[in-house]
A = this chain, B = another copy of it.
Amino acid sequence: MTEPRPVRLPDSPLPITPQAQPEADPAPVAAGLAVERVDTSFLETLIGYNARRAALTIIATFIPRMAQFGLRPVEFSVLTLIGHNPGITARQLCATLDLQPPNLVGMIKGLEKRSLLEKRDHPSDRRAQGLHLTPAGESQLEQAQATALALEVDATPRLTPLERVTLLRLLRKIYQPDH
A interface vs B, CB < 8 Å? Answer: 1-2, 4-13, 16, 18-19, 21, 29-35, 38-59, 62, 73, 77, 80-81, 83-89, 92, 95-96, 98, 120-125, 130, 132-135, 138, 141-142, 145-146, 148-149, 152, 155-159, 163-164, 166-168, 170-175, 177
B58 touches A174 (CB 8 A): yes
Minimal Cβ-Cβ distance residue in B for A128: B34
User: Beyond A52-B73, A80-B42, is A123–B29 a contact (Cβ under 8 Å)?
Assistant: yes
Among B59, B149, B163, B175, which residue has its beta carbon within 8 angstroms of that of A57? B175
Q: What separation, in Å, do the CA atoms of A134 and B5 have in the docked complex?
A: 10
Q: Could you pull out 17 A-B pairs where Cβ atoms are within 8 angstroms?
A: A5-B138, A7-B138, A32-B123, A35-B85, A35-B86, A35-B92, A38-B85, A38-B92, A40-B81, A42-B84, A46-B148, A47-B156, A47-B168, A48-B73, A158-B173, A166-B166, A166-B170
